[in-house]
Amino acid sequence: MSPEPKDDQILDALGRLPARDVDPWRREQLRRRALAELKRQSELARRPWLAGLTRAYDRVLEPVFVATITCAYLAWAIQRVNELLQ
């Protein structure tokens, strides 16, 4: 499949952008995060029950916790504004 003329223009524009490398501090931060994630994934691979628990926390418990805190704060804010307006 050959690229369309519009794609060629985009590729040409991208080619004209200056190449910028990441500064050493940011590079080290990214390296550390990647290593931590690799370590976490290997730990989860060795313990399947931990993977299921982590998945349940990420997909259910944390969103419910955040939604509960958000709703509680919103209810408090609305109540407070209502008190101030009366």
Domain count, the chain: 1
In a domain, 63, yes or no: yes
pTM equals 0.51
pLDDT in tens, 27-54: 999 999 999 999 988 888 888 888 889 8
User: What was the pLDDT predicted at 72?
Assistant: 98
**Residue 11 domain flag:** no
d(CA 45, CA 38): 10
The whole domain housing 75 covers 21-85
In a domain, 15, yes or no: no
Domain annotation covers residue 41: yes
Q: Is residue 27 part of a domain?
A: yes
Q: How far apart, in whole angstroms, are the C-alpha atoms of residue 60 and residue 23?
A: 37
51 lies in some domain = yes
- Residue 14 covered by a domain: no
Q: What is the rounded distance in angstroms from the CA atom of residue 80 to the CA atom of residue 48?
A: 47
Query: Does 35 fall in a domain?
Result: yes
